[in-house]
Structure formats: C-alpha cells, structure tokens
Structure 1
Amino acid sequence: MKAIVQDRYGPSDLLRLEDVDKPTPADDEVLVRVHAASVNAADWHIMRGDPRLARLVMPVAFGWSGPKRKIRGRDFAGRVEAVGARVTRFRPGDEVFGDLGFADGAFAEYVCAPEGVVARKPAGLTFEQAAAIPLAGNTALMGVRDLGRVRSGQRVLVNGASGGVGTFAVQIAKSLGAEVTAVCSTRNADLVRSIGADHVVDYTKEDFAARGERYDVVFDLVGNRSLTDLRRVLAPAGTVVLSGGGVSEGGSLVGPMGLTIKALLVSRFVRQRFVVLNTVTSRENLETLAGLAESGAVVPVVDRTYSLPEAAAAIRYLELEHARAKVVVTVDQPRP
C-alpha cells in the first residue's frame, strides 16, 4: 500500500510517498481502508521533534533522532475491511472514523486501529468532514466540557478560535449554553461568527487582555500570552485551560511546554484554576462528537484538501501558513 513515511526529524521535505506492507489487524483491531485523514499540529511537532524537550518526556511518540512511528497522521475516516477475532462492534463495510493517537499511521491507504478508538462515521457527513473531527473535536470537548466545566450562562473566551480545535471549541461551548468570545485575525472573523461566536476580538487590532472583560473560562490554544495576561481576563474563580499552541520557528527547546510548566506552579498559590489538557482518545467521546455533528450542533469546518501524494504540502500549509479550521488529506475516494 501507499503511505507517507519519515525516518528522521526535519521539515516536511523529508516526507516520502512509499510502498509499505499492508497491516494485519490484531484480535482487538479493525482494518480500515482510509478515505480521508486530517492534519493536526501534533503531526508537525512529531515530524520535527519539536520541542526538543518532548523527546525526553514523551518517549511514546518521540525517539531521539526520529519519530517512534514511521508513518505520519493520526485522524482517519474510511470503511472497515476486516476485523480481529475479538472485535464485536464493527464488521466489514461499516463506515467509521477514529484517532490512532501516538501510534500514528493515518496517511496511508490502510490503517489498523484498536476497536476502542473507533466509532461509526456521523450520518450525513462526508469522509473528509468526519476525518476532521477526532483529535481536534476531542481536544475541544475535553477542554470545554471536562476541564473547563462550562455551564449555561457562563462567559467563555477561546484564544485561537479559528484553528482546528478552536472551531470545535466555539461550537461545543455554544451547545452548552455559553456566551462565547472568539479571538482570531481579521480574515477569520466572519468564519467564527458563522459557527456561533457571540463576540469576536480581532487580535490584529485589539488586545483581548486590555479590554477589561472577565471570563469564567479561558481556553488558550495558542500559547502566546503570559500567565499575567490570562489572569487579567479571568474571573476570580475562573479556569484557564491550556492546550498545546506554539508555532514552527525552526525548532525550540521548550516551546509551549514552558507556559504549561509555569501554570502548574502558579496554580498552587492562586484561587483561579490553571489546568493543562492532556487529550485522551476514547470511543465514548467520538460517539458524543458524532451525535453533536448529526444534530447540527457541531459542523466540521474544512479549510483545504490535499491528495495523499500532497501530504507534505498539507503539513507545510498547516505549519507555516496559519491555516484556519481543518486541513484534510483525501486518501482514497470511496466507490459507490
């Protein structure tokens, strides 16, 4: 089968389209013919081994000189081709989507995935839309619902609202009854309004930390503001949820991890909550996201699509061009 592979850390130029062995499912796995896979910031972080500190603290994904897994990509959508002996929820022909986690391997014609990280594709969505959901949607769901504990009537600020996670976070917060303020650039203001943002702060014209507004929950997806700035806009008993962030600058030692380390230290001494999101893939959350998509409460937003041979360009676009919403790789067009 065809797959996008990588041997050592570096830019997207190192990614290659090669023939590799088709995987065989274990007893608890499903073999999926991939129709679409989406690109996440995690892909370029692992591709580059950036930040370098991650190579020490996250050995499940990072080796010292190259990624632990050869094939890039984690989000996928497609059709089940075969199932392992202990799989009970799926059978060949089922349309599914899922997140491989740090196992990676979605930028390929086939993937094997444990039954527990796969769910049925939301009805009415294309494979491209379904592939856009897993990691970004789950990150938003856990950040807003689980760590942020967002309730109806609360005021929520999403910094990085037009990105992959941000577009889901805005919609999920709205579905929970929150009043949502989205921080983004001028070109993305109409986008975040169209998915439900009540207020938009254009960071090219205005500093959200200087507006005098307070929020019950601040979901920071960029990692470009100080703890002082974040505390300034937070209600006295509010919560800051930190998730990733950082941009590609040719390599860093600590990157966005520096902010999370500071937040964990500060949180011991202040009333305000600072929590760091560690996204965990689960079938239950995927099914929740599928339900939100089927009800229309959440609509995946796809910025651009690329073919599998263009996967390196897709990652480059996400990494360097300030892509909005989700970038998707079309692997194999389904036959009628």
Structure 2
Amino acid sequence: MKAIAYQEFGTTAVLQTVEQTKPTIKADQVLVRVKAFSINPMDWKIRKGEMTLMSGSKFPKLTGADFAGIIEEIGTSVIGIKKGDEVFGVVKNMMKEGASAEYVAITSSLVWKKPANISFAQAASIPVVGTAAVTALEKMGNIGSQTNILVNGATGGFGMFLLQLLKQRGAQVTAVASTKGAEFAKKWGANSVIDYTKEDVLSQKATYDIVIDLSGKMGYKTAKQVMKPKARFLNPTPKPIEIPISFFSNLFTSKKHIIVLSSPSTKYTDVLLSAVKNGLQIEVNKVFPFAQYKEAYDYAEQGGYIGKVVVEIN
C-alpha cells in the first residue's frame, strides 16, 4: 500500500511516498480503507522536530492523525461495526503513528460510524480539532450568558467547532479573525468580531473572563492585558516548557494559564456527533488529491484559511 512518510525532520520536502505492507489486525482492531485524512498543525510541528520530547527521533515517521474510510476487516472481538461500514477515526498516538496511508489498522474504540449527511472529507475533519474544542469547553468551567470569552484565531478547524459549541452554551463570544473569516465567525456564533487586519485586540477596552488562543501567536503574557482579575487563559498549543511553567506560575497569580491537552474518546465524540446531528457545520476549505499531498501541507502551513484542509485517497 502507499503511505506518506519521512526519514528526517524538515519542511514538506522531506515527505515522500513509500510502499508498505498492508497492515494486519489484532482481535480488537479494524482495518479501514482510508478515503480521506485531514491536516492538523501538530502534523508539521512533529515533522519539523518541535515535539521531539514526545515524538522521539526514530524514523521513518508517518503523518496525519484523523481519517475517514470504509471498514474492510474486523477483529474477532469487535462488536457494533461491520465490514462495509463508513467510519471516521483517529490514531491512538499521533506522535508515533499516522493515518496518511491507503489502509489503517486501528483499535475499534477509536473508530465511529460516519453520519450519512456528511462527506468523508468532513468526517475526517472531526476527531482532533473537535475533541480539542470539547476539552476546551471543559477547561472553561461553568459558562453562560454572563461569560465573556475571547477566541483568538477563531476560524480554523478548532475555532469552527468551538464557536458553534459555545453558541449552544449562550456565552458572549468575541472572535478575532481575518476579514474573510469574519462572516464565518458570525455564522458560527460569535457575538462580535475583531478583524485583526484592521484592529489590535489589545487596543480594545474590553476585558474577558476567558481568553483562548487558537493561533498560537498571542501567548499568556500578552493575553494578561485583556484578562479580568480571575480570568483563565486557555493554551491548546503549548510549547513543552510551558506545561511545567504554567503549573508553578498558577500558584502565585489569579490569572490562570490553563494548558489544554486533548485525547479523542467516545465520550467526546458522542458530544460532537450530537452536535453534527443538530446542525453543526463542518467547513472543508480545500480538498487535495493524494498525489498533491505536499501542496496540501504547504497550503495548510501557510494558514489564513477557513475550516479544514483534507487529502483524499481514491
């Protein structure tokens, strides 16, 4: 089978198509013929060597974490799904595994049936950023109509899910987005939008109960300027050193720096599937064919797009 792998850290130039043996499955696994996989920022952070403390430096490495496809085989202990089912899922450890291949052997607990009303590309966009959005909601604590939340970098895949889930909670949300992203931010539930190409969020007089930085560009030190005295800064893209630092700094300040680390599970996916059933929109900005995967990663890394970028495998 064909797969995307790399033998050293670097730019998209290190990515290459390789031939691998079609995986065999264990009793608790299923074999999925992959139809689509989505691209997440963690993919290039790992590939560039920014996460070596967690990913290690053993090669070759695959890329891609969440995917959608069709069940081709099921293990002897698997129940609830059958051969031919359309599913979506996620690898157990994206630091050491990958979904960018024609076939993936995956534990059945990390695969869910694809809703009939969404495409494979949309389904492949759910697990990583969707789980992160639900986890962020948990980290926010009790929120409601009196909670003022600033979402920085609001119209990527993570923001797409988060804004719509926050809308269901009735929070007062200010989204920071580009000019072209403003329409989507409002459609997804933002009460107001700050166009970062025209305004500086720090020049506003407003302060917030919760600030979440999805762009990875604001940082806790900057965010403190727009945080209320007992506010929370949620950081879903921490540098490894920020994890211990945030723990100790939180002991001495009322403005908390909260690290958001997420791991997909049925608990979170049930929330997302319910939201999809109730009309949650999944915007796929661009779909690339497998042969153009380098272009897909280049495009995704440039940023500035709305929703998700997906690679399809025919």
TM range (shorter): over 0.9
What is the 5 A alignment of 1:216-231?
Answer: 216-231=209-224
- 1:118 maps to 111
- 1:275 maps to 258
> What does the per-residue CA deviation read over 1:141-187, in whole Å, with 9 as the maximum and x for residues that have no partner?
1012x111252212211111011211111111112221211111222
Mapped pair 1:148 → 2:130: no
RMSD of the alignment, in Å?
A: 1.8
Range with bigger deviation, 199-208 or 38-47:
199-208
- 1:331 maps to 313
Query: Are residues 226 and 17 of structure 1, via their aligned partners in 2, closer, same or farther at CA, if it must alter by over 3 Å?
Result: closer
Displacement of 1:257 = 4.1
SS of equivalent to 1:35: strand
Displacement of 1:205 = 1.8
- Match 2:169 to one of 137, 160, 176: 176
Ranges in structure 2 where 5+ consecutive residues have no aligned partner: none
- 1:12 maps to 12
- Match 2:82 to one of 81, 91, 95: 91
Greater relative contact order, per chain length (Cα 8 Å cut-off, separation 6+): 1
What is the 5 A alignment of 1:152-163?
Answer: 152-153=144-145, 154-163=147-156
Ranges in structure 1 where 5+ consecutive residues have no aligned partner: 246-255
Q: Which amino acid aligns with 1:77?
A: A
Mapped pair 1:81 → 2:69: no
Identity %: 34
Q: Which amino acid aligns with 2:71?
A: V
Displacement of 1:76 = 0.4
Displacement of 1:272 = 2.6
Between the aligned partners of 1:323 and 1:263, the Cα distance in structure 2 is: 30
Q: Which amino acid aligns with 2:56?
A: F
Kept in 1, the 8 Å contact 2:213–2:219? The answer is no
Between the aligned partners of 1:299 and 1:110, the Cα distance in structure 2 is: 27
> What does the per-residue CA deviation read over 1:106-160, in whole Å, with 9 as the maximum and x for residues that have no partner?
111111111221111123111111111110111111012x111252212211111
Between the aligned partners of 1:22 and 1:323, the Cα distance in structure 2 is: 34
- 1:252 maps to none
- 1:250 maps to none
Displacement of 1:34 = 0.9
- 1:300 maps to 282
Between the aligned partners of 1:150 and 1:38, the Cα distance in structure 2 is: 31
Query: Are residues 315 and 62 of structure 1, via their aligned partners in 2, closer, same or farther at CA, if it must alter by over 3 Å?
Result: farther
SS of equivalent to 2:190: coil
Between the aligned partners of 2:234 and 2:224, the Cα distance in structure 1 is: 12
Q: Which amino acid aligns with 2:260?
A: L
Range with bigger deviation, 213-222 or 72-81:
213-222
SS of equivalent to 1:312: helix
What is the 5 A alignment of 1:1-336?
Answer: 1-50=1-50, 54-56=51-53, 58=54, 61-63=55-57, 70-100=61-91, 101-102=93-94, 103-144=96-137, 146-153=138-145, 154-244=147-237, 256-257=239-240, 260=243, 262-296=245-279, 298-332=280-314
Between the aligned partners of 1:187 and 1:288, the Cα distance in structure 2 is: 29
Between the aligned partners of 2:122 and 2:184, the Cα distance in structure 1 is: 16
Between the aligned partners of 1:123 and 1:287, the Cα distance in structure 2 is: 15
SS of equivalent to 1:137: helix
Range with bigger deviation, 18-27 or 229-238:
229-238
Q: With the length of structure 1 as denominator, give the TM-score of the two structures.
A: 0.87
Between the aligned partners of 1:120 and 1:43, the Cα distance in structure 2 is: 24
> What does the per-residue CA deviation read over 1:287-322, in whole Å, with 9 as the maximum and x for residues that have no partner?
2211111111x2111110001121121111111243
> What does the per-residue CA deviation read over 1:195-245, in whole Å, with 9 as the maximum and x for residues that have no partner?
221110111222212312122221111232243431222222222110117
Displacement of 1:265 = 3.2
SS of equivalent to 1:235: strand
SS of equivalent to 1:162: coil
Between the aligned partners of 1:223 and 1:312, the Cα distance in structure 2 is: 23
SS of equivalent to 1:157: strand
Q: Which amino acid aligns with 1:148?
A: M
Between the aligned partners of 2:252 and 2:117, the Cα distance in structure 1 is: 48
